[in-house]
């Protein structure tokens, strides 16, 4: 693997990791609001 290919691979992996992180944070927020709605509703 050339240095250019390695840099491109790392850049793609970093972008994918950020996307996964944002998706997980979104799910946590969603579950939090669903839980709060269920608790407040009784």
- For 1-37, the pLDDT digits (tens) are 899 999 999 999 999 999 999 999 999 999 999 999 9
Q: Is the separation of the CB atoms in 17 and 9 below 8 Å?
A: no
What distance lies between CA 12 and its chain's CA centroid?
15
How many separate domains does the chain show? 1
A 10 A CB-CB count for 32 gives 10
Q: What is the pTM of this model?
A: 0.78
Q: What is the three-state SS of 23-38?
A: HHHHHHHHHHHHHHHH
As given in the structure block, the two tokens for residue 1 are: 């693997």
Q: Which residues are CB-contacts of 9 (< 8 A; sequence separation ≥ 6)?
A: 1
Q: Is the pLDDT of residue 42 over 80?
A: no
Determine the structural domain holding residue 27 and report its residue range: 1-42
* pLDDT score recorded for residue 22: 98
């Amino acid at each position: 693997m050339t240095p250019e290919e390695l840099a491109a691979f790392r850049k793609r992996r970093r972008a994918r990791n950020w996307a996964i992180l944002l998706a997980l944070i979104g799910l946590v927020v969603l579950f939090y609001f669903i839980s709060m709605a269920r608790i407040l509703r009784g």
